[in-house]
Structure 1
Amino acid sequence: MKTLNKTAIALCIQSALLSQFSIAQEQDVAAKERSLEKITVTAQKRTQSIQEVPISIATLSGERFESMFAGGEDILALAVRVPGLYAETSNGRVAPRFYIRGLGNTDFDLAASQPVSIVMDDVVKENVILKSFPLFDVSQVEVIRGPQGTLFGRNTTAGIVKFDSVKPTDDFDAYVKLGVGNLGTLNFEGAVGGGLAENLAGRFSVLSQNRDDWIDNAYTGEKDAMGGFDEKAWRGQLLYKPSDDFSALLNVHGRELDGTASIFRANVFTKGSNDLNENFDRDVLYYDGDIDGNGADNNPQEYENYGASLKLEFGLDDMSLTSITAYEQAEGYSLGDIDGGVVLNEPGDINGDGVEETTFPGNIAFSAVTQDNLNDLEQFTQEIRLASETDDALGWQVGAFYYDSSFNVTSVDGFFGATTVFHENTTWAVFGQTSYQVNEKLNVTAGLRYTYDEKSLVVGEQNVDGFALVIGAAAIQDYDDINVDDDQLSWELSANYKVDSDTSLFARLANGFRAQTIQGRDVAFEADPSVAEAETINSAELGIKKDLLEDTLRVNAAVFYYEIDDMQLTAIGGGANTTALINADKGVGYGFEIDVEYLVSDYLTLTAGYSYNHTEIQDNGLTILPCGANPDFGATGNCTVFDPRPDGFAASIDGNAFPQAPETIFNFTARYATPIGDDGELFIFTDWAFQGETSLFLYDSVEFTTDDNFEGGLRIGYENYQNNYSIALFGRNITDEENVKGGIDFNNLTGIVNQPRIFGIEAKISFY
């Protein structure tokens, strides 16, 4: 009996141990099945794991990307959604200005260059209008931080934002997505793709974003006078691949925009404060801006852009040859009541409060309304690249690039009339990059690029139909043609050390340049054009990329330091409202960024990112006129300036932060899902972005410095896996924050404010 008991006890213990072992195995298997997706990028113009590329890179895709645009947002929705990345505009849904690690360009002219390059489907979008092409049917966004001059050329001193659309395949797939929201918001997106014939596949994608006008013009009494938009865009792709050794991808695309340009709000700051005052009302403006003599224009905006690219890939013996040919064209206009209010010839009771005023709201020095027309923009690019395709320790790629662009800009001012300037830009470059696998842990990369860049400006007709010319306040000026050229060598040296299968350390030294720039906008206001010399940057960064907790936690971090010689800046404003290019002796930036993604469980996923950017202009002799200051009239300006003012008017900007450079950025997302039945789930997704202290202009002032801006988004919905559909309630800027994004300083304290809260419902169905 005792023997039987001992046997039974032994069997029970053995069974318990086996049960625990089985549970441990199941948990181990479950942990291995629950791991973060492996991310590949093309930051070095070849497909690589993001964890092995010696560059600081962040990516956006899937729900985290798509949720940003649920309310009809444009490309600016990317601002502060990635550590170190910022974007803003004073041109509505066109001409976005991007900043990485604090480095960007605040110039609002249509000929402005930027140190952040936008690359869409392997084609650089150089002009600011081309940079605003709508985002839809996107597979992935890569934010590549730091100078990228070797492989991508000039004007990439801050970095690159790279977009890749979903490509055609032989497998059929399609989707339609419809969203309806407040303020008459109606969005539609769809795509269909698959095999069309033997060796031929295609994909067609469309986007429609609409919002009703919702802002009243109380001066004219017009309800719902402005604020809306109608954006249409499409993309067609054909992929011909008869063998593994050859493929041809044709991309044809277009967009049409009819909407409202940026909304300028007069005197929404009180001198000595950066808080929005009683003059700010989201839903009401007082506009008298009139270009054509037919009454207030209400800031209309219209643009068209069409383009095509052909990518050819050839497989050769141990090599590949890639050719990318692209053409873009665009035209359109934007009009703005720049003073943001009303200026009367005779006193009147503008807002019905019984008080007669000559300007409203607040004191406006003079009326300012301008329209910028972009005409005949044409951009042609050609890249040819030859790369090794072996498993050898030594890898390489060499190539050549050609760029040619021309366009003209007509600036129409209510006083000076219309003036047209013609711009041309030609660039060519040769480049090479090589990488060597020293051993199983260490890989080193070196690259070199030679670039030649040439620009010209020709002044056409001036003061056409201008009142200033009629009364003798302006005269036809005789400007010589401006031609500038420069050539530069850019280089990089980097190393990636694989500590173990989950950890990589990298170091990178890089050099790049932003080509010389010509600014012709001031010609429209009886001032000379300006030219900025090329700027060069030297950058160093160290980073770590690590996967933890059985590949459920990913942490990527980098520290950086850079110096810019002959830094290009744009002095905007002053009492004369100039837009002049200048060079500072030096600009310095340093800081760090960290990206974290954590798959907490099968049901909860978290992401977070943080960046710190310290930037500083270094030029002890550089001064600019701030906020309406004009020594000719004895005006010291209408804002509170902290900078030294040696002559009582101009402000010394030595030691100031770069304009529109957030000192800190923090973003966070969380997605929680719970199963509903066997084929669906209920999910909640939220995303938040915080922006630290940011100076809007080159000078340091109370009124034009923002801090602690934030916005949040929310999606609550149901997704069915069996039938491939989802439906969700969404909200953007859910707390209806009123964040200042920009300002105009030359004749009053004008502000530009973010979009209001948008909420609605969105449904999507996919077909396979």
Structure 2
Amino acid sequence: MSGIAFGGLTDLTVENYVKTESFSAFGEIYLTPIERLKITLGGRYTIDSRDFSANVAPNALLAFAPPGSPSSFSSHGKESVFTPRVVASYDFDAVNVYASWNRGYKEFGYNTPVFVSEDPVNAEKIDSFEVGAKFVSDDRRLRLNLAAFYYNYRDIQVSIIDISTGANVLENAAGAEGYGAEIDANFEPTNWLKLFGVAGYLHTEYTSYPNAAIAVIDPVTGGLVSSRADLTGTRLPRAPSFTGSVGFELHGPIGGGFDAHLNALTRYTSGYDFFPGAQGPLQYSRTGGYAIINLSGYIERELNGSGIRSYRLGFYINNATDLKYSSINVTSAGFGLFQTVAPPITYGLRASAEF
């Protein structure tokens, strides 16, 4: 790439290579110390190894790197981790209750592309605790699930927009935690109607994030400049406090050998931040709550004595109310404020045949 923005420089090439090797072993043991009580003990042992290397063209160094930066550099990292899993459940016939503890792991890594040597992003680890109950009615028409959970992150990997360059990069926050509850239900009052719904509450916050990237307004120029802030106590990105969905499915014969199916789903989410702290005082990288309605359906006919066993004709309508909302809002010191709009109403027809 070249042009006025880079003083007519050409060959702004950077080559980044990451070689990854990962080995893991997993096992579980199932115990039944007393009747109806089941205990699961499991774990995974993982070894991750990564080699990073880079070659930067001279003009790319001149345009993007500090003076004196090397044209080639490399790094090697290796980590071993054990992640256990424990689950206990008890069967009360119609109700099954359970409690679990899981430890998760997301491997360390490198931001690419880069023009100068950087430290790798630390591995992310999480401990997750959950208790819940699952109910099924005797006639199998009602299913109800309840769950409450708590999780604790260490070295959480956060996706941010580098305010000065506009690039999407990963960085580590010191820690975060969250807790919440969820309920989902399915009910079939008749053989041709199925109702379903889900509702969830989630509270999240950074327990420590003292040096987070944000954008502020320069009091002299009036433009956006990069800065850092303590976002300890703020909520995690893309973590709405409330979510829920309700819907139904109708199905049954309509004559002439045809079966019809109609589905409708309404999904709601409360407001949330796209990036930590909504990227600074402007609070632009945030969305309010919204609800989306999706519809779909089809008719189907089974055939006998022909090469085609069945055929299906259907339709779909996504975002049926043509709601205008953002899929992401970004604040950048280099480029200002920009928005990616979510898809508007989308509809179409489907046809298929089974041979």
Amino acid at match of 1:438: P
Residue aligning to 2:314: 728
Equivalent pairs counted in the alignment come to 343
Question: 2:2·2:11 contact (CA, 8 Å) conserved in 1?
Answer: no
How far the C-alpha of 1:578 sits from its partner, in A, is: 5.5
Matched position secondary structure for 1:736: coil
* Distance in structure 1 (CA, Å) of the matches to 2:38 and 2:74: 49
Matched position secondary structure for 2:156: strand
After superposition, the Cα gap between the structure-2 partners of 1:599 and 1:463, relative to the gap in structure 1 and judged at 3 Å, is: farther
Question: 2:157·2:173 contact (CA, 8 Å) conserved in 1?
Answer: yes
Q: Which has the higher strand share?
A: 2
Question: 1:626·1:699 contact (CA, 8 Å) conserved in 2?
Answer: no
Could you list the runs of 5+ residues in structure 1 that have no partner in the other structure? Answer: 1-290, 294-344, 346-365, 368-413, 639-647
Matched, 1:606 2:187: no
Matched position secondary structure for 2:277: coil
After superposition, the Cα gap between the structure-2 partners of 1:292 and 1:434, relative to the gap in structure 1 and judged at 3 Å, is: same
Deviations 1:434-467 (A, max 9, x none): 0112233110010122221111210123356x5x
How far the C-alpha of 1:419 sits from its partner, in A, is: 0.8
How far the C-alpha of 1:601 sits from its partner, in A, is: 0.8
After superposition, the Cα gap between the structure-2 partners of 1:656 and 1:668, relative to the gap in structure 1 and judged at 3 Å, is: same
Matched position secondary structure for 2:114: helix
Alignment equivalent of 2:232, drawn from 637, 654, 658: 654
Alignment equivalent of 1:562, drawn from 137, 151, 158: 151
* Distance in structure 2 (CA, Å) of the matches to 1:484 and 1:570: 21
Deviations 1:118-145 (A, max 9, x none): xxxxxxxxxxxxxxxxxxxxxxxxxxxx
Matched position secondary structure for 1:600: strand
Deviations 1:246-303 (A, max 9, x none): xxxxxxxxxxxxxxxxxxxxxxxxxxxxxxxxxxxxxxxxxxxxx588xxxxxxxxxx
Matched, 1:752 2:340: yes
Alignment equivalent of 1:696, drawn from 265, 270, 274: 274
Deviations 1:442-498 (A, max 9, x none): 10010122221111210123356x5x8489997763453111111111101111110
| TM-score, length of structure 1 as denominator length | 0.41
Amino acid at match of 1:436: L
Residue aligning to 1:712: 293
Question: 2:224·2:336 contact (CA, 8 Å) conserved in 1?
Answer: no
Residue aligning to 2:22: 427
Amino acid at match of 1:582: E
Matched, 1:447 2:42: yes
* Distance in structure 1 (CA, Å) of the matches to 2:257 and 2:211: 65
Deviations 1:9-68 (A, max 9, x none): xxxxxxxxxxxxxxxxxxxxxxxxxxxxxxxxxxxxxxxxxxxxxxxxxxxxxxxxxxxx
Matched position secondary structure for 2:276: coil
* Higher Cα radius of gyration: 1
How far the C-alpha of 1:674 sits from its partner, in A, is: 4.8
Question: 2:20·2:50 contact (CA, 8 Å) conserved in 1?
Answer: yes
How far the C-alpha of 1:555 sits from its partner, in A, is: 1.1
Question: 2:56·2:71 contact (CA, 8 Å) conserved in 1?
Answer: no
Matched, 1:480 2:73: yes
How far the C-alpha of 1:560 sits from its partner, in A, is: 0.6
Could you list the runs of 5+ residues in structure 2 that have no partner in the other structure? Answer: 305-309
Alignment equivalent of 2:247, drawn from 669, 683, 691: 669
Matched position secondary structure for 1:518: coil
* Distance in structure 2 (CA, Å) of the matches to 1:715 and 1:528: 51
Amino acid at match of 1:534: A
After superposition, the Cα gap between the structure-2 partners of 1:579 and 1:416, relative to the gap in structure 1 and judged at 3 Å, is: farther
Amino acid at match of 2:275: F
How far the C-alpha of 1:515 sits from its partner, in A, is: 1.8
Question: 1:682·1:718 contact (CA, 8 Å) conserved in 2?
Answer: yes
How far the C-alpha of 1:610 sits from its partner, in A, is: 2.0
Amino acid at match of 1:685: N
Matched position secondary structure for 2:19: strand
Matched, 1:417 2:12: yes
Matched position secondary structure for 2:224: coil
Matched position secondary structure for 2:155: strand
Identity of aligned residues (%): 21
Matched, 1:574 2:160: no
How far the C-alpha of 1:736 sits from its partner, in A, is: 1.4
Question: 1:624·1:652 contact (CA, 8 Å) conserved in 2?
Answer: no
After superposition, the Cα gap between the structure-2 partners of 1:529 and 1:579, relative to the gap in structure 1 and judged at 3 Å, is: farther
Residue aligning to 1:543: 132
Q: Which has the higher helix share?
A: 1
Residue aligning to 2:104: 512
After superposition, the Cα gap between the structure-2 partners of 1:463 and 1:684, relative to the gap in structure 1 and judged at 3 Å, is: farther
Residue aligning to 1:19: none
* Distance in structure 2 (CA, Å) of the matches to 1:522 and 1:544: 48
| TM-score, length of structure 2 as denominator length | 0.85
Residue aligning to 1:491: 84
Question: 1:518·1:531 contact (CA, 8 Å) conserved in 2?
Answer: yes
RMSD: 3.1
